[in-house]
Structure 1
Amino acid sequence: MDQRIINLFDEYTHRPLSRKEFLDRLAALTGGAALAAAALAMLEPGYARAATIAPLGDDLLEETVTWPGDGATVSGYLVRPKGRKKRGAVVVIHENRGLTPHIKDVTQRVARAGYLALGVDALSVLGGTPADEDKGRELIGQLDGPKNLNNYLAALNYLRARPECNGRTGCVGFCWGGGLANQLAVHDPLLNAAVAYYGQQPKAEDVPQIKAALMLHYAGLDQRIDAGIPAYETALKAAHIPYELFIYEGVNHAFNNDTSPARYNAEAAKLAWERTLRLFKEKLG
């Protein structure tokens, strides 16, 4: 797909660009409304495709859980292996559409790897993640930033208090969630590991607060997010923060999302996930 189309979609999903303006510009790039609609079907995450995730399996348990947040009750999707063994716990942080079927699938993947996994629904304080992804993006913009961060910090404390948890915690976030993973690393001194996929970087002056081991995954074609890499890496080195940084050349923002065919890259996603699980094994047990 023409990279200009992918860049336009990135602008639409992350900046205040109306759907009408986006579709008009998309039609101009593709050569007409019909071709624009075909391109859009390849770009937008497909909930129907994501809903066909593998069955949970007899070795896992799932439930919807709640915990007190900052002035509101927050809910999430908890998946854990059966048995009494204490395990490390991981908060899974969604993209800017909410707790979609894709992110629930990722939460299951974390649990299958042997962890207590919690996919937080940041939009639960606004009624929950809607089926319409445009509405989800609109609601994300209505969240109170500091309160939302506190809700995720409370999620980590909720996991630490679960009887299945061994006391070690991590997080993994994607896009909007990648930026939040960086913020959790800044604001939670008990966090053991934080993995950010193509996430916005924290302020350089906040980096010395980080106590967790970091793993940072970036897409080589993601100019918007990648612009913040040099300053972040300089700050990490100056503060002697343990980190690993990987740039996957030739792939786009959201390369891990297998419900978005135009941007998904199976090879990069597989490698990044293997690296992520290696860090969790090292730091969470």
Structure 2
Amino acid sequence: MTTQAAPFSLDQIGTGTARFPSGMAIPTATDAMVDPYIRTRVSKDVQVECIQFWPQDKTAYPGIVLLHDWWGMNSQITDLGARLACEGYGVIIPKLYGRLGGMVTANAEVAEALMAKCNEKLLLQDINTCCEYLNTTEHTKRNIHGVVGFGMGASLAIRFACQRKRLRAAVAYYGKVTAPDQLTNMMSPLLYHQAELDTWATQQDVDHLRAAASQGKRIEIKTYPGASHAFCDETRPAGYQPEAATQAWDTTVAFLKTSFQGT
């Protein structure tokens, strides 16, 4: 399968950083008119630090919250963010390890320890606040959002899809189902990429999703024969499978396009 050309090239993509308090109301342009210092005043609340990518024209696009794997916000996920923006989305990537100093690692043992220290409830709050932040940007459509996650981020994407009722799409690359009893609350369609030989996100996780699908939830599962966990991560040659990664990306692009159609 060959990846089709994206609507935008990388030189047409803008980038920037964002920082806002988790779980708090995000200042709007109207708020800034009343209080010109509202966006620069230092808050005592925990801050969500993010990087953003968006097409540089005057059009508003659907927003995507992109969630990194347990390595932290590394160059691989930011490259994916820019690539996703090329498909016509305003993308925001939060530092999920912000409460742990924003750490990034290439060591699996350290990554596992970092993930274990995370509070899932607080991370879901951060992700929700990212959606509210997107509602204040000129390049993103209001409440037209999706979430895409990898590994640890995929597990959070599944949980978030069960929490935010206005979410339009969720994509999970080899994530765990951490709360199967919550799948009945899922409102958005979910695309799940399963690595056949995955020993982290197991068949039991997929079985939970299939059970929810049998009860009417809009869940699509794509399985990649012979693929191991993180088969889309080109920075880890031992497990990277280019053909499966390309197929998964093309499926994701098509799924998002369908999910946001008419918005």
Q: TM-score, normalised by structure 2?
A: 0.82
Give me the whole-angstrom Cα distance separating, in 2, the residues matched to 1:187 and 1:216.
17
Q: Structure 2: which amino acid aligns with 1:213? A: P
Tell me the CA shift for residue 235 of structure 1: 2.0
Q: Structure 1: which amino acid aligns with 2:20? A: W
Give me the whole-angstrom Cα distance separating, in 2, the residues matched to 1:263 and 1:107.
21
Q: Is the 8 A contact 1:207 1:236 kept in 2?
A: no
> Are 1:184 and 2:184 counterparts?
no
> Are 1:194 and 2:170 counterparts?
yes
* 1:233 corresponding residue in structure 2: 210
Query: Which one of the candidate residues 104, 107, 117 is aligned to 1:142?
Result: 117
* 1:74 corresponding residue in structure 2: 48
- Aligned pair in 2 of structure 1 residues 132, 277: CA closer, same or farther (>3 Å)? closer
Identity of aligned residues (%): 26
> Are 1:212 and 2:188 counterparts?
yes
SS of the equivalent of 2:97 reads: helix
Q: TM-score, normalised by structure 1?
A: 0.76
Give me the whole-angstrom Cα distance separating, in 2, the residues matched to 1:61 and 1:143.
30
* 2:97 corresponding residue in structure 1: 123
Tell me the CA shift for residue 132 of structure 1: 5.3
Q: Is the 8 A contact 2:10 2:82 kept in 1?
A: no
* 2:146 corresponding residue in structure 1: 170
**What are the ranges of 5 or more consecutive residues in structure 1 without an aligned counterpart?**
1-55
More helix by share: 1
* 2:130 corresponding residue in structure 1: 155
Pairwise CA RMSD of aligned residues? 1.7
Q: Structure 1: which amino acid aligns with 2:136? A: A
Give me the whole-angstrom Cα distance separating, in 2, the residues matched to 1:98 and 1:145.
15
- Show CA shifts across 1:166-188 (max 9, x none): 23111110110110110110111
Tell me the CA shift for residue 212 of structure 1: 0.6
Q: How many residues align?
A: 229
- Structure 1 ranges of 4+ moved more than 6 A: none
* 1:65 corresponding residue in structure 2: 18
Give me the whole-angstrom Cα distance separating, in 2, the residues matched to 1:132 and 1:237.
38
- Show CA shifts across 1:178-226 (max 9, x none): 1011011011101100000000114332112111111000001114422
> Are 1:222 and 2:175 counterparts?
no
Give me the whole-angstrom Cα distance separating, in 2, the residues matched to 1:243 and 1:97.
27
Tell me the CA shift for residue 135 of structure 1: 4.2
> Are 1:249 and 2:202 counterparts?
no
* 1:88 corresponding residue in structure 2: 62
**What are the ranges of 5 or more consecutive residues in structure 2 without an aligned counterpart?**
1-8, 24-44
Give me the whole-angstrom Cα distance separating, in 2, the residues matched to 1:136 and 1:129.
9
- Aligned pair in 2 of structure 1 residues 193, 65: CA closer, same or farther (>3 Å)? same
Give me the whole-angstrom Cα distance separating, in 1, the residues matched to 2:235 and 2:259.
29
Tell me the CA shift for residue 145 of structure 1: 1.9
Tell me the CA shift for residue 94 of structure 1: 0.5
* 2:27 corresponding residue in structure 1: none
Q: Is the 8 A contact 1:75 1:124 kept in 2?
A: yes
